[in-house]
Amino acid sequence: MRSLLQINGLTKSYGDRMLFADVTLGIYEGDKIGLVAQNGTGKTTFLNIIAGKEDYDSGSIVVSDGVRIGYLEQTPPFDPEMSVAEYATPSPRNSDDWNSTDRMAGLLTQFKVGDLDRKMGTLSGGQAKRVALAKILLEEPDLLILDEPTNHLDIDMIEWLEDYLARQRVTVLMVTHDRYFLDKVCSKIIEIDIQQLFSYDGNFDYYLRKREERMDNMEAELARVKNLLRTELEWMRRQPQARGSKAKYRIDNFHDLERRSQVNLSEKNVQLDVKSSYIGSKIFEAKGVSKAFGPIKILDDWNYTFARYEKVGIVGDNGAGKSTFIKLLLGIEKPDHGRFDIGQTVRWGYYSQEGMTGFDESKKVIDAVREIAEEVRIDDKTRLSASAFLSRFLFTPATQQKYISKLSGGERRRLYLATVLMRQPNFLILDEPTNDLDIMTLTVLEDYLSRFQGCVLVVSHDRFFLDRIVDHLFVFKGNGVVRDFPGDYSTYRHCLKQEAREAKNKAADEGEVKAQSDNGNHNPGNEERKRRQAMKLTFKERKEMEQLEKDIETLTAEKSELEAKMSSGEMNTDEIISAGNRMQELVAQIDEFEMRLLELMEKEEAANA
């Protein structure tokens, strides 16, 4: 197997704050790796270092000869005066069937970027991110590094990218909060925790199970260390003359145990336990609400009565009017016709994309919160100081003294969430709340919202988040049409696919009837059914499919084990050569089996289409 990049003993710190120490990792051709960690533990820094954008304290990074790295940053840099076409067009390659301009235009159309002459500086953050993503994909680097690639993509585009990365033989290292995306694309998960790198050979679901086992094992090991420490502590406390003749290693052992016992294995999660204020039975009624911007309709004579404790997800293409709808509800925008009748007990809590820019950068974290309230009411019996409240959002006393301008993107979002919840709203409106939040915080937020004794309206492209939170969906179809769908997002997508199949079958049936009347006995519909029947998998092919899946899993496990040994630095020259030869055999076998499996899967899909 071809090694693209080797990391050995990598260490990075900022002042006295250690992010990670003595990290070792090998990235091989075809790897699809997801990097997870809590905000502030160094995920983006790790990617920046590998991409050559940031320096490190010690260790080494060796990139194999000829390997090209493509890096999609969270906020990609660009020349604002360049046109979209100039920025995104890749260098031409002689082997292309299309020229580079055709490929660029085709992919940008897929990414819903139409005007190629537009200046990059006039694009929104989301549009610029999509153009940068298209540019990276068109360059076809050997190693693709992606930092939150799904941010600013609508769900259709996320699913397209998900499918592309899952099917293509590309090498990927990425950070994303989208758990469905991680689960489908990645075959390896690495986690930065307690300044170390832990590797798991499997998808995100596998990682969650194995991480729990690791935490259990570490807790048992920590308990053993603390028992030993107590024994050594008794010895160390004896009179100096009693231990003077003891071996020096015993004293060194004590200090080593003391250091290891300081590890904190408790889950450092945001504590979301702020109770909502009372909400009455009347929430809001929309009566004949219409809104348009020129020819673009957002709502067209929309009527709805919102019920107590409803939790609704808002989905639709970018530009369909989701954010405008929220602003209409809050009174920030005014409808052209109709009105919203809001209940007297409703207390809004609005978490918006624009709200992230509302902080005074020159203020310290604690001062920004104290300006809102010196004390926060958690429930009828519990009140917390502003500092104690911030600690529940993982802001340590030291971090509370930091200037807001120095916070990471994830820390800013946690601070913003804290300032929204501390006002005890009973109707939460969340506009893309999952962007830049780590997976651990997202999980806690989801649990909080599922138990929230109030109403929730959420705009999100995170399918996992929607599935966990909402009871039904407002689907913005465009041209003022809003469909109320009873169910979560996965159910909605399943129904959409079913509707598409039924429409296709209906069109085929109508075409068959017409063909019969036009051509007498000649029946193309029957021929099409016969063709599909012939395409269905045989019993033998189904058994072959099952065996291929098992063989690929076995070979992949052997490959992962071999990678770990090769990355350990413990093999001699002969062992490395032997392992390299076996790695090539494994890669060839996996490729062969995957290609055959793909053929069978495509045949099955075509037969069912």
Report the Cα 474 to chain-centroid distance in Å.
23
pLDDT of res. 396: 87
Phi, psi of 532, deg, nearest 5: -65, -40
Q: Among 110-114, 398-402, 529-533, which is the least confidently predicted range?
A: 529-533
The percentage of the chain sitting over the pLDDT mark of 90, rounded to a whole number, equals 37
Residue 527 has pLDDT above 90, yes or no: no
Rounded to an integer, the average pLDDT of 252-267 is 56
Q: Among 97-111, 222-236, 299-313, which is the least confidently predicted range?
A: 222-236
Confidence class for position 346, pLDDT limits 50, 70, 90: very high
Confidence class for position 345, pLDDT limits 50, 70, 90: very high
Taking the C-alpha atoms of residue 294 and residue 459, their distance in angstroms, rounded to an integer, is 24
Residue 266 has pLDDT above 90, yes or no: no
Taking the C-alpha atoms of residue 456 and residue 348, their distance in angstroms, rounded to an integer, is 10
Residue 97 has pLDDT above 50, yes or no: no
Confidence class for position 105, pLDDT limits 50, 70, 90: confident
Report the Cα 382 to chain-centroid distance in Å.
35
Against a cut of 0.85, is the pTM above it? no
Confidence class for position 47, pLDDT limits 50, 70, 90: very high
pLDDT of res. 273: 79
pLDDT of res. 563: 73
Q: What is the DSSP string of 243-268?
A: HTTS-HHHHHHHHHHHHHHT---S--
Residue 80 has pLDDT above 80, yes or no: yes
Using DSSP's 3-state secondary structure scheme, residue 328 falls into: helix
**Higher per-residue confidence, 515 vs 137:** 137
The percentage of the chain sitting over the pLDDT mark of 70, rounded to a whole number, equals 85
Where does residue 503 fall: left (phi above 0), alpha (psi -120 to 50 degrees), or beta otherwise?
alpha
Instruction: For residue 150, give every residue at least 6 positions away whose Cβ sits within 8 Å of its Cβ, in sequence order, or none.
Output: 158, 161, 176, 177, 178, 181, 461, 462
